[in-house]
Amino acid sequence: MLDVSDPNLDSLTQTALQAQEGDRDALERLCREISDPMYGLALRYSGNPTDAEDATHEVMIKIITGLSTFRAESRFTTWAYTVAVRQLLRTRQRPTEQSIAGSEPFAEFIDRFADNKPFEGESEVEYQELTADIRLACTYGMLLCLSRPVRVSYLLGDLLGFSDTECADILEISRPAHRKRLSRARQIMRSLLKDRCGLVAGSNPCHCSKLVQPSIDFGYVEKTNPVFARHRGVKLPISVDVLERASNELDTAVAAAEIYRDNPDLASPVSLWESLQEAMPELLK
């Protein structure tokens, strides 16, 4: 039996081992610690907050009920992401994911309205909310341009910083296969961002405000309910610090990963914790 006080173990792994031993406080701490990262992964994978919440609920149940199988042969974080990615890959495609036909149609939509008049809004609040909503929705939409296998390699390798070996183990593929997927993801990101996105190159004009009205017209954004801008954890106006750092990157794929890593801290909805308590009352009450 591993010693939970072993200083070589990170705090989350120690907490997981304490939870294995029946410590309910440790189990609750563990759930609260990992719910936001798991939700962040699910949101980037699905591109839709409601779908992400549903997927995170399923992931968390898998992690909690499978906790007894964790052997601390790797960090608990790695084990949790392994459970999460495999669960996400098994989920059915929802309408948001199905709506993205690929990188070329996605880019064509942006280019079609590049010369539109910028959205002004009836108030500064409406302008800030809808422009932020487009900015966030667009970044998640770009991820959906990647096929599922390519997307998870990109999420794990470039956004979360797992090593090639860790990614290959999580995905149950060879390291060369993972690197090939990652290279494909970076290629697609470069094609989408290089000459279009002001987030990765200061010389590119920002299209976010120009895409507001077309996105409303096509039903991609609800004018009265900009879900990303009103998401728990988003603060308006969105800081441009990350944009300035990203614009100095030589490689647009690296800049894109920087943007995704430093997106506003989208915390998991309160309803996620409530639903877990309802699903496993004896464990989490």
Q: Are 130 and 223 in contact (CB under 8 A)?
A: yes
pTM: 0.88
Q: Which two tokens stand for residue 97?
A: 């994911």
- Per domain, the residue ranges of the chain are 11-284
The CA distance from 133 to 221, in Å, is: 8
Sequence length of the chain is: 285
Burial class (CB in 10 A: 0-12, 13-18, 19+), 239: exposed
Q: Are 42 and 88 in contact (CB under 8 A)?
A: yes
The CA distance from 138 to 75, in Å, is: 33
List the pLDDT tens digit at each of the 285 positions of the chain: 455 556 668 899 999 999 999 999 999 999 999 999 999 999 999 999 999 999 999 999 999 999 999 998 889 999 999 999 999 999 999 999 999 989 999 999 999 998 899 998 889 999 999 998 998 888 889 999 999 999 999 999 988 999 999 999 999 999 999 999 999 999 998 888 877 877 666 667 778 899 999 999 998 899 999 999 888 888 787 655 554 555 555 566 666 676 666 565 678 888 888 898 888 887 776
Best CA proximity match to 186, nearest among 160, 151, 162: 151
The pLDDT of residue 20 is 93
Compute the chain's Rg from CA coordinates.
Answer: 20
